[in-house]
A and B are shown apart, each in its own frame.
Chain A
């Protein structure tokens, strides 16, 4: 059983999705989905433990050897990502039953869980597989279900946001496919490990350059890197709250994973960063992204939009860390992957709770909410503090490592800009605090009660994780460091 873990990780949610159709009762389906996601969480935990102790796990699908068959390759980086995705998915799913009853028509509930599990399976598949074409397949599985999930949103604009995401996502996926196709044309292989060995021989050809450009642009589109982020805010804002919480914490992280995997493992550092000024491009776009997105976030009137823009800014931090191409920078990026997943899932879940109680997340409707929903708003404040990077929260840990990496690189202006960027976060978080605690409640809202327990439990689990991992950094830092070591080929 244990040796089949890599494939079970993906196959369980994938097969569970259609099974939901037989269970018809939404409650039951929810429970089933929760168990499936929980199983995936368990498996990812076991995998991480196994990888950390005994190194990379290689699993040949159907017993076919690597270059011909599909290979699942779990190293520290994959295992870390798998853990992030499956844990967040499970915690978020706890609130799903309550949340979607208010946001999705009853006859779509079963559909919702099917799509959710498919999307989960897709993301886990992208991360687990060691085959470039397989990546594309899982990317399509997760994306197609994502479009449908977003379109389920109560707001009619959800349909349109989903449509835009569909177009952009498809272009991104197509670009990735083109890139993979060109690589296949040059090397005759689709296995990543194999590709990394054969690409150097042909690396100075235009075809490979083109393949690389298509891949990078496709991935950057998927990860909503500035200025390719335009699809994201509306998709996040109009999707059902649970979907937003899940995607904000995982979807872009998977894209970051792809970026790291393709540039560092497949193409290799020397190719990716020397044949054209990718480093400069990424630092600049990352920093501009931080500032532009944070500034735009300040002026948003819908809190979901606000945090969506803040997500784009946070992606900027990860891109900056990535572009340092040092182990410290990579560690910071991976840490931020984990930490940002904790923050954003907590924040968007809390917004889901607000949505559940007052039916909107317009900033003006937050007036006086601090007294009416004290626990939910306290969670938003702590999550916000974490977003700013206040000590004792995870946000601080990742900022610390990022700035340290920048200083280590001698990029002092970058270090200063990163910290200045956090000040912008202070402003947009403050706008919510001001509304919720310093303004009197709106008339006719006296009856608003605290969110139900089914929301509070997952929200506070995540918030406490925000604080716990902000103080006891052993697990997150150790794994992130180990992952970045293995990426750079250093044995610990």
Chain B
């Protein structure tokens, strides 16, 4: 039908080009129009392969639409639109262009039907997004961006090696189920794993995202990890290993998130935690689980975006991002506070909010397939996420002790963007069947039955209780001994004291280990660069002709000796 073969990344790349040469209102109008028009266009695109061409000896499919990729396509359009609205006030051309390119690369990746196209967009994702980090233009952000870039490019190179092996094993580049048999499968798995922030490989995320600009983080949170989730969902559904990795991902960030003071870094940890849920779902691999993973990705883009936007608004207005320096902002930023709470409720999976309708699918699937331990871990993780993202974020930013900061609500475009996201969060939570109709499988799942609602509410309640208690006992990390709430009735001496000591020891050792590690790393790096300089001086030194001739003689002698020995 009408220009079916326009791949969704194209409008965004053209938009980036236009954004580079226009200014002011014209640019804003164009940038807003692109996700809307492209989104509408995508809505009318049927499933199927729409664009392909031959390259080398292979068939490259640059545009393949099916239920799975369309689902991600829709949410990326929504995220791009919200992000653009949120950043309308930004005058920095570099950021606007990078954001458009980045969104386009994300779309290119999810609609790529072959591994080579995927690889191209994989690397483009890295190269375009890094500018959103550098756009802060500080030494810190430059360094963080560089580390981010190196890891992302490395992931791409591993993907490429895997692709090469895959091509030589299978004789095709088509991107579909791959599975973990053979080197190719493992290499591609590792490449996606890095982008998916697997434990140990997750540091790029928590390192770089909080260093990005206010608006940059909103974009960053939407695309990179979700592209990784998409690729897992396509290439490795039902891979047992993913269940365990995913479960670990849901649990370990909680501890870091709890002790972290930078609120955007807390969100970065909770991003890993949420991606963990999706990875578990993909690992389980039943129709329900995949549905859960995909719909959770869909929701996560929106509510995590909302949370990053609300924290971005705080950073934008106050210039501060540490939990200990903020507080009491609800008086002057009431709208932001309410919107942030909507996001917090969604991520915590309150019934009637979007997180609830998707997360429960993954958990039900875990139970149905007999992964009871995994289910327990997920339960713990749900409690944890409520704890650090659901309560900690709004509490330390907007309530807690009054920091004395009297910042106003952010500009209207930021509020509008958050408002759109919040409306979506609630709408999906209240009317989930709209979301369900887009899912790859039809499972007839209903989240609003008594067990789910009750279990989740109980969980949330106890988690809230734990927070209150910890806070009260003055053990809550970033605000040690500084919060005073009026809940004297849980007072008990001995037990908390012991706990406090244990915790302080854990934190101390943790810091010590981390510092020692960093020191060693730095030493190694300096050592390596020194050696490197030494050798390269030696090697790039200009030699007199005589020594060159000596080399020739040596080589000739070697050749002769080798041929005569034979």
Contacts and interface: CB of A to CB of B under 8 A. Distances in A.
Interface of A: 163-164, 167-168, 171, 175, 206, 209-210, 212-214, 216-217, 220-221, 227-228, 230-231, 233-234, 275-277, 281, 292, 295-296, 298-300, 305, 309, 390-392, 397, 400, 403-404, 407-408, 412, 415-416, 419-420, 422-423, 426, 471, 473, 477
B171 to A, nearest CB: 11
Contact of A217 (B168, B535, B552): B552
Interface stretch (B116-124, B317-325, B391-399): B116-124
13 contacts: A168-B549, A217-B552, A228-B552, A292-B539, A295-B535, A305-B540, A390-B123, A391-B119, A391-B120, A415-B161, A416-B161, A419-B157, A471-B55
Given A305-B540, A391-B120, 14 more contacts: A164-B548, A167-B549, A210-B563, A228-B552, A228-B555, A299-B533, A300-B540, A391-B116, A397-B56, A404-B168, A407-B164, A408-B168, A415-B164, A419-B157
A299 B548 contact: no
B56 A299 contact: no
Contacts of B559: 213, 216-217, 276
B161 A419 contact: yes
A113 B564 CA distance: 46
A400 B164 contact: yes
Given A295-B536, A391-B119, A404 B167 contact: yes
A309 B556 contact: no
A404 to B, nearest CB: 6
The secondary-structure label for the interface of chain A is helix
Given A228-B551, A404-B167, A296 B539 contact: yes
Contacts of A404: 164, 167-168
B511 interface: no
B175 interface: no
Contacts of B451: none
Nearest to A298: B536
Q: Which size bracket describes the interface of B in this complex?
A: 35 or more
Interface in B107-121: 116, 119-120
B463 to A, nearest CB: 45
Interface of B: 55-56, 116, 119-120, 123, 153-154, 157, 160-161, 164-165, 167-168, 183, 532-533, 535-537, 539-540, 542-543, 545, 547-549, 551-552, 555-556, 559-560, 562-566
A228 B545 CA distance: 11
Nearest to A277: B562
Nearest to B565: A276
| B123, B536, B559, B565 interface centre (most CB from chain A within 10 Å) | B559
A471 B555 CA distance: 41
Contacts of B56: 397, 400, 473, 477
Nearest to A209: B563
- Residue among A227, A277, A298 with max Cβ neighbours from chain B (10 Å): A227
Closest 8 pairs (CB-CB, A-B): A213-B559, A209-B563, A276-B562, A299-B536, A296-B540, A276-B563, A217-B556, A407-B168
B548 A231 contact: yes
Contacts of B123: 390
Contacts of A209: 560, 563-564
Contacts of A298: 536
Nearest to A471: B55
A175 B556 contact: yes
A164 B545 CA distance: 6
Contacts of A163: 545
A38 to B, nearest CB: 32
Contacts of B547: 230
A473 B55 contact: yes
A230 B556 contact: no
Nearest to A274: B566
Contacts of A234: 542
A403 B165 CA distance: 9
B563 A212 contact: yes
Contacts of A407: 164-165, 168
B551 A227 contact: yes
Nearest to B551: A227
A419 B555 contact: no
Contacts of B533: 299
A213 to B, nearest CB: 4
A213 B555 CA distance: 9
A423 B157 CA distance: 8
A213 B561 CA distance: 10
Nearest to A401: B56
Nearest to A217: B556
